[in-house]
A = this chain, B = another copy of it.
């Protein structure tokens, strides 16, 4: 049997050509003029899956962009892995900051530069090639299903319902996803948790029109000052969120677990240097990694009021606005948190202003236990490829669809991401190192082998 290492070596140019074909389709889901590109990208995936060895592959309609489904069922008594990925990408603005055209992939310094090079075309395409190898070598130990959506970058608005409608077809033991990162090329890691999100917009109204700050200043409450005071009250001096009940459902993590997580390599000085920070700030009693990994947070994502142009305008504004989001940890329900926020924000509003709170967006957190079979298989797979046991990492980010899979399909996900922080996803000059692309394929092949073995 040919080894995966050799197979990659012999086929690596073709792998890149095929990936580049997918990248060249500008499938930006947030811009409606790219609707035809969404279909083209989906068709490209269908063809790729069939060529890689799928028994069947289809471009299926959803309420939004189509979903690509493919499968190879070898034996109904074997376990089934459902691979999830997305073929849509983020917009490319600001275009003038790109060193090469975002949809003309270019290799520089051993990295593929293009929109989608990592997120998620590069990462998801590794699965097609790992699958191809296993089929060609007749070494599949599981049934494999593929599901590729075209709306991840806009919050997967249609996929939950689509899953509901195709529950039987999607039946699987585990969902395998490469849409996250690893610590470094020599420090493999597995994402074991994602945070949830409750995203609110608030509006504070003082007088019913903008006033002259000279004639009224001091006598009429200024909504921008009031909003500042209200925001200031949401987090106390110790970095604790003050909303009553906010922490009620946060699971406490044992000292043992915290000690295990603390083994993940982390250099605070490097971290500060990378962000040009004089000091970090966060909840008292927790490390920087714990603050994003296992604790919720509250951030102003935007705020605006009054005159924001050049120079001085003496206005006492009528209104002040802020977008405020909370990252939640698993077990915190985003609907409940949104309600608690609303109630508290209205409660702390002084009588001389009117407050409106809108719930813009939300998603549940997710946790992937390190005790599940898929985790153990992944751990072995990374160890085979990198000669190092991977570190379990709780990510501060959110992929709301992952918790939806658990709710709707009752299937856990294993997050085997191979991206690096330097990949600049969502930014100009997105890139993906060839090293990570090929190592990812290798690791995925090992995963199937171990998973099949452990599930026996």
Which residues of A come within 8 Å of B, CB atoms? Answer: 195, 197, 199, 206-209, 211-222, 224-225, 227-229, 231-235, 239, 275-283, 288-289, 291-292, 295-308, 311-317, 320-323, 325, 327, 350-354, 360-361, 395-398, 426
Contacts and interface: CB of A to CB of B under 8 A. Distances in A.
Contact of A218 (B229, B295, B398): B295
A397 to B, nearest CB: 3
Given A232-B232, A281-B350, A301-B306, 8 more contacts: A214-B397, A217-B297, A219-B396, A224-B302, A225-B234, A231-B232, A279-B352, A303-B304
Contacts of A282: 218-220
A229 to B, nearest CB: 4
A214 B277 CA distance: 18
A306 B303 contact: yes
Contacts of A279: 221, 351-352
B308 A304 contact: yes
B277 A207 contact: yes
A299 B222 contact: yes
Contacts of A276: 207-208
A313 B288 contact: no
A216 B225 CA distance: 27
Contacts of A361: 311-312
A219 B292 contact: yes
A275 B211 contact: yes
Could you say how many copies of this chain the assembly holds?
A: 2
Given A282-B219, A311-B361, A397-B214, A207 B275 contact: yes
Contacts of A228: 227-229, 231-232, 300, 303
Contacts of A360: 311-312
A305 B228 CA distance: 12
A150 B297 CA distance: 54
B232 A199 contact: no
Contact of A213 (B211, B224, B327): B327
Given A207-B275, A231-B228, A354-B278, A314 B199 contact: yes
Contacts of A395: 214-215
A216 B303 contact: no
Given A197-B314, A299-B316, A217 B308 contact: no
A252 B67 CA distance: 74
Contacts of A292: 214-219
Contact of A216 (B214, B217, B219, B396): B396
B217 A396 contact: yes
Contacts of A354: 278
Contacts of A219: 280-282, 288-289, 291-292, 297, 396
